[in-house]
Chain A
């Protein structure tokens, strides 16, 4: 194999795929990236896989001799990222060379890295006979930004470490929860030309729902932000999901198990409704959080109907206390309700309209945050019960 490429393209691609390399891989070859050089298309593709998440990307290069091999991901990324800009030549010996010694030449010098046979590298999973559809990437990104943060980071929570995706005829619903808060985002499933995303096989109105690990979707969001294409091809079967666009591919296993029926958790009617300016609320809350972080993360909201104001207060014993008041449009009676400040902050950051609506019933039943206008998003957060 022999190829010439720019330092920039190799380094970018390497740092992209190396996110799918496990820090302590269970299989030796999975510490490597697979490099495939294709002379016909003058493209080089890089893949990495940790048995759950797989990322493949390709970039243009001058391929003088075809070939494929695997190279240690960490070593290669560290070397290439530090090389000066300019062309890099990658050359490996004949295929029968047992050590797969690869020479990397740049303007400032040359390096030799030992690789492994490409045959050892497992193929990234493919979905041949499952559902296949095209989704607008903007809608994907909106949904991911609004839901990902609410997924649980606790490995033992199994299905809650993922984001639940429901594909209905014209709507795409993302939901994530960690048991304390829930974020549901509905985006349209129609792309710019007005084509329905579901392909012809989806005539039956049955909605498709899957749970995808949050880790994979975080990578997907990062990759989608950087690319320009307008739609993402999604293929899925019982075990795997594959996202494909322009020259990149991300595969992930699906999480098994029944996702909680979150729709029945969302209350339909509310006795209290409060509309506040999001930035004002957020910045007050951030100041309050400084004190709240010291003790138990609890912030108390008091709505004052007579003055049309909402006050935020924190009382951290032995540390100090604080109170802020912000104007709000309030309907309902006066009430006090307490929350974990972290959950409120997460939600407020994800909602991106100027005004938001806060709805609740009693100090112990779920509260809902929704944006006014913009994205269809529902953020449910459980209050904290405080004894006064």
Chain B
């Protein structure tokens, strides 16, 4: 059985990681770069499985994978961005379970970095080395990133794995301490395979979702879920041309009343995709002014991010569409 069999289409990363283990030259720190949803987290799990199973009996190997996936292995620490609420840290899942209202994006916090140092002060219990995974490392502010430097340089009998979309989003001092493992967007046949194995084959019927995902199965699944959360009539109404100002106003009211601000931002992404697609199909309208709907949407996104009243934003955006 190959440890990396669940991972599809990242042959270079697999090669780099398996050779590191085979030659017993595991770096103290890795940086997994690539867009979200293309298997960086899964690769980390596979790699940890491979490292932890060295010198273990068959029986122990069998349950290793589930222990890693449940984050229950004592030598593994998986760090996710958190929200700070009343002095306590909540991960994304915990915040949802607790029903917290989230206004700002979650971050990797200084307290968590200190937790990593405490975790690594202890020698590994079962495996040869401890492993710490930091997901969405790009959400680290400067203070926690600086706090990590010393740990990253000399983690002791341990390996740190940073997962980030690219090298630009991290401090150069962090990057220079890590070995980079690049991950790439998947080709369409690999996409097909991933979506079929994860029982998400219905997404393959949605070309605009696949285009929006740009070769990232994780993103495709996320987009699909968002799409299904939209109220029924809304999507159809958005596909129709908007005939009158009255239509535009009532549609704007519907959007601002039924959707959370996060879902509204997603809707803008989605609309940009389908409107752009309509435009490119419709060669006649590809004149100077034709770009403007997309620019209107871009403007709307900026407004929403700056907490402009959502209903007003949608009214302005949709009224500009009237008659096109």
Contacts and interface: CB of A to CB of B under 8 A. Distances in A.
Query: Does chain A bind chain B?
Result: yes
Interface stretch (A118-126, A241-249, A275-283, A356-364): A118-126
B63 A51 contact: no
Interface in B309-324: none
A120 B125 contact: no
Contacts of A49: 74
Interface string A140-155: 0000000000000001
Interface in A76-123: 119-123
Given A119-B67, A122-B126, A125-B125, A26 B115 contact: yes
Given A27-B71, A27-B74, A119 B63 contact: yes
A28 B70 contact: yes
B125 to A, nearest CB: 6
27 contacts: A26-B115, A27-B71, A27-B72, A27-B74, A28-B70, A28-B72, A29-B72, A49-B74, A51-B74, A51-B125, A52-B122, A119-B63, A119-B67, A120-B63, A120-B66, A120-B67, A120-B70, A120-B72, A121-B72, A122-B72, A122-B125, A122-B126, A123-B125, A123-B126, A125-B125, A239-B122, A239-B123
B157 to A, nearest CB: 10
Contacts of A155: 118
Contacts of B177: none
Nearest to B114: A155
A66 interface: no
A116 to B, nearest CB: 8
Given A29-B70, A256-B121, 9 more contacts: A27-B72, A28-B70, A49-B74, A51-B119, A120-B63, A120-B66, A122-B126, A155-B118, A239-B122
A29 B74 CA distance: 10
Contacts of A2: none
A51 B77 CA distance: 11
Contacts of A253: 122-123
Nearest to A255: B121
A51 B125 CA distance: 8
Interface string B107-149: 0000000010011011101100000000000000000000000
Contacts of A122: 72-74, 125-126
A27 B74 CA distance: 7
A27 B115 contact: no
A260 to B, nearest CB: 18
Interface string B288-313: 00000000000000000000000000
B77 to A, nearest CB: 6
Q: Which of A51, A125, A256 counts the most chain B CB atoms within 10 A?
A: A51
B122 to A, nearest CB: 5
A30 B67 CA distance: 12
Interface in A12-58: 24, 26-30, 49, 51-52
Interface in B219-263: none
Nearest first, the 10 closest Cβ-Cβ pairs linking A and B are: A122-B74, A29-B72, A120-B72, A239-B123, A119-B63, A27-B72, A253-B122, A120-B67, A51-B74, A27-B71
Interface of A is mostly: loop
Given A119-B67, A122-B126, A125-B125, A26 B72 contact: no
A161 B100 CA distance: 36
A26 B125 contact: no
B71 A28 contact: yes
A121 B88 CA distance: 26
Interface string A230-243: 00000000010000
A310 B124 CA distance: 55
A3 to B, nearest CB: 24
Contacts of A26: 77, 115, 119
Contacts of A52: 122
Indicate the size class of the contact surface on chain B.
Answer: 20 to 34
A123 B60 CA distance: 12
Nearest to B89: A24
A297 to B, nearest CB: 28
A70 to B, nearest CB: 10
B275 to A, nearest CB: 44
Nearest to B88: A24
Nearest to B66: A120
A170 B74 CA distance: 38
A123 B126 CA distance: 9
Contacts of B63: 119-120
A155 B67 CA distance: 30
B122 A51 contact: yes
Interface in A123-146: 123, 125
A27 B125 contact: no
B299 to A, nearest CB: 43
Interface string B67-105: 100111110110000000000110000000000000000
A161 to B, nearest CB: 11
B95 to A, nearest CB: 14
A276 B57 CA distance: 65
Contacts of A120: 63, 66-67, 70, 72
A124 B57 CA distance: 18
A49 B122 CA distance: 14
B133 to A, nearest CB: 12
Nearest to A32: B72
Interface in A292-343: none
A155 B125 CA distance: 22
Contacts of B89: 24
Q: Which of B70, B77, B89, B125 counts the most chain A CB atoms within 10 A?
A: B125
Contacts of B67: 119-120
Contacts of B121: 256
A49 B73 CA distance: 13
Contacts of A28: 70-72
A61 B89 CA distance: 40
B86 to A, nearest CB: 13
Contacts of A51: 74, 119, 122, 125
